Amino acid sequence: MLIGVIADDFTGASDIANTLVKGVPPMGGLKTAQYSGVPSGDAAPDIAAGVISLKSRTAPVAGAVQDSIKAQTWLQAQGCQQIIFKVCSTFDSTPEGNIGPVAEALAKQIGAKTIPVCPAFPGAGRTVYQGHLFVFDTLLSESGMQSHPLTPMTDPDIRRWLGHQTRLPVAHLPLSHLRRGVDPAREHIEALTETAPTFFVVDAVADEDLLALGTILADAPLMVGGSGIAMGLPRNFIEEGRAKGGAAEFASVRGHGAIIAGSCSGATRAQIEHHAKDHPAYAIDVAGVTSGDITAATLVDFIQCHSDGMPLAYSSGSPEEVEAAQRQFGRETIAAKLDSLFAATARQLLDRGYRRLVIAGGETSGAVAQAITAHLETEALIVGPEIDPGVPILSCPVDPPVALALKSGNFGAEDFFAKALTMMGQ
């Protein structure tokens, strides 16, 4: 294994795994496996990149650090030359969040002096310019992320935001310096970090910037960012002859399919509205979940009654609706109840022969993926072709096979749900 990734949620893990598998045409990328937590044994010998999925984004800081160090230790034991701490491309956190403490602990453990930070992912509209994070043409703090129920982002300046979370200096590699070439950029980085270990936020507004960054960071032992930070890394190993390269592999999966959505993002709400026009959809009432009137059996019965229609079960709402429900029932209570509901629903669907599942939402995907891998007694998910930017098909290597799509709330086109289930069966 050459590249190891520690992802702070499950959809983010799929996102960067997709980037590593795609690589750069025509040479392609690396054969990649995504793991639900730290594996108990060694990786398969043909896996060149490993992505460990954690649920650490909103976990207590001490637990997030501990889990991340455990993942880093396993990845380096597999031979990884580079470690990436994958965070959301919208830098989901709070002033007391986990990104700074986890990155700082990893840097100390690895002995990294220069710690590049770049959440840019132009393919999904996330760019960094003058240290500020944009969502398409809007500052992050005006994009809707300021109303995120768990990790609201009210400041688009990644330098300032990260500075709230770490004791290390936070510097900046501006776009003008990045585009001067590999050697000038490396000289600028060395000047920034010559006195002490230092974070430096990197501007990037196009894929070409990320590819150039991949060359600049060819020898970097640690980096922090969105999936785009890995875009150019497979090419380095392939050109050195240390990896084979190639395209993602996938064999179609037969059997019924279903969609479970637990995201309240604007993109997911639009996808739900689009899908519900032509397909059966069940809106989950939070009050019914908290009272016990709505259970996994409720959702499974609905899905089975509409098994040929790409059925969707969802819990979603506007920021105002989410806030009202949280005031009434409590944020932690709602999250725990929904996670348990979705996990139990996924297990029951597998037992009833469902083999294609689309899951929307970071927390929802984490709960469901953990439930599925435990239920199927498998630790590795093999990363297949891309459905939409940042979202690949994941294959569970069991008999009969199971295909998953774990979608971050903000990702995917309006027709993502039907497209994903169709691609899994083709």
pLDDT at 106 over 90: yes
* Cis before 400? omega within 30: yes
For residue 146, pLDDT beyond 80? no
pLDDT at 193: 79
pLDDT classification of 382: cutoffs 50, 70, 90: very high
**Residue 31, domain member (yes or no):** yes
- 426 pLDDT band (50/70/90 cuts)? confident
Single residue among 209, 239, 269 that ends a domain in this structure: 239
Last residue of a domain, one of 239, 269, 298: 239
Query: What is the CATH classification number for the domain harbouring 297?
Result: 3.40.980.20
Q: Which residue, 213, 239, 265, sits at the end of a domain?
A: 239
Residues 231 and 280 in one domain: no
In a domain, 244, yes or no: no
- Domains of the chain: total: 2
* Span 19-47, average pLDDT: 94
Q: What is the pLDDT of residue 314?
A: 96
Residue 250 in any domain: the answer is: no
Residue 329 lies inside a defined structural domain of this protein:
yes
Average pLDDT, the chain: 93
* Within a domain: 245: no
**What are the CA-CA distances from residue 280 to residues 122, 300, 405 (Å)?**
33, 13, 19
Residue 246 belongs to some domain of the structure: no
Q: Is 394 a member of any domain?
A: yes
Q: Say whether both 367 and 273 belong to one domain.
A: yes
- The pLDDT of residue 371 is 95
**Range with the poorest average pLDDT among 307-316, 330-339, 414-423:** 330-339
Q: Are residues 43 and 119 in the same domain?
A: yes
110 — pLDDT class (breaks 50, 70, 90)? very high
Residue whose tokens read 């190891």: 4
> Would you say 230 and 16 are in contact if contact means Cβ atoms under 8 Å apart?
yes
What was the pLDDT predicted at 294? 96
- Whether residues 70 and 213 share a domain: the answer is yes
Instruction: Answer whether 0.85 is exceeded by the pTM.
Output: yes
Same domain, residue pair 90 and 26: yes
Q: How far apart are alpha carbons 346 and 380 in whole angstroms?
A: 18
User: Do 211 and 269 lie in a common domain?
Assistant: no
Instruction: Quote the domain boundaries for residue 32.
Output: 3-239
Q: Is the dihedral of CA 374, 378, 383, 387 positive or negative?
A: negative
Instruction: Indicate the residue type of 193.
Output: T
Residue 88 lies in a domain: yes
Identify whether residues 325 and 217 lie together within a single domain.
no
Contacts of 266 (CB under 8 A, 6+ apart): 144, 410
The CA–CA distances, whole Å, from 213 to 17, 87, 169, 281 equal 18, 17, 21, 43
**Do 193 and 273 share a domain, yes or no?**
no
Q: Do 219 and 273 reside in the same domain of the chain?
A: no
Clarify whether residues 211 and 78 are in a common domain: yes
The C-alpha angle 347, 351, 354, rounded to 5 degrees, equals 90
- Domain identity same for 215 and 290: no
SS (H, E, C) the chain: CCEEEEECCHHHHHHHHHHHHHCECCCECCCEEEEECCCCCCCCCCCCEEEEECCCCCCCHHHHHHHHHHHHHHHHHCCCCEEEEECCCCCCCCCCCCHHHHHHHHHHHHCCCEEEEECCEHHHCEEEECCEEEECCEEHHHCCHHHCCCCCCCCCEHHHHHHCCCCCCEEEECHHHHCCCHHHHHHHHHHHCCCCCEEEEECECCHHHHHHHHHHCCCCCEEEECHHHHCCHHHHHHHCCCCCCECCCCCCCCCCEEEEECCCCHHHHHHHHHHHCCCCEEECCHHHHHHCCCCHHHHHHHHHHCCCCCCEEECCCCHHHHHHHHHHHCHHHHHHHHHHHHHHHHHHHHHCCCCEEEEECHHHHHHHHHHHHHHHCCCEEEEEEEEECCEEEEEECCCCCEEEEEECCCCCCCCHHHHHHHHHHC
Share of the chain above pLDDT 90, in %: 80
The mean pLDDT value for 74-100 works out to 92
Helix axes 331-351, 296-305, angle to 10 degrees: 50
| pLDDT score, position 140 | 87
Q: How far is CA 66 from CA 61, 63, 69, 105, 114, in A?
A: 9, 5, 5, 9, 22
pLDDT at 332 over 90: no
- The reply to whether 182 and 269 lie within a common domain is no
Query: What's 191's domain CATH number?
Result: 3.40.50.10840
CA distances from 37 to 7, 107, 221, 248, 366 (A): 10, 21, 22, 22, 10
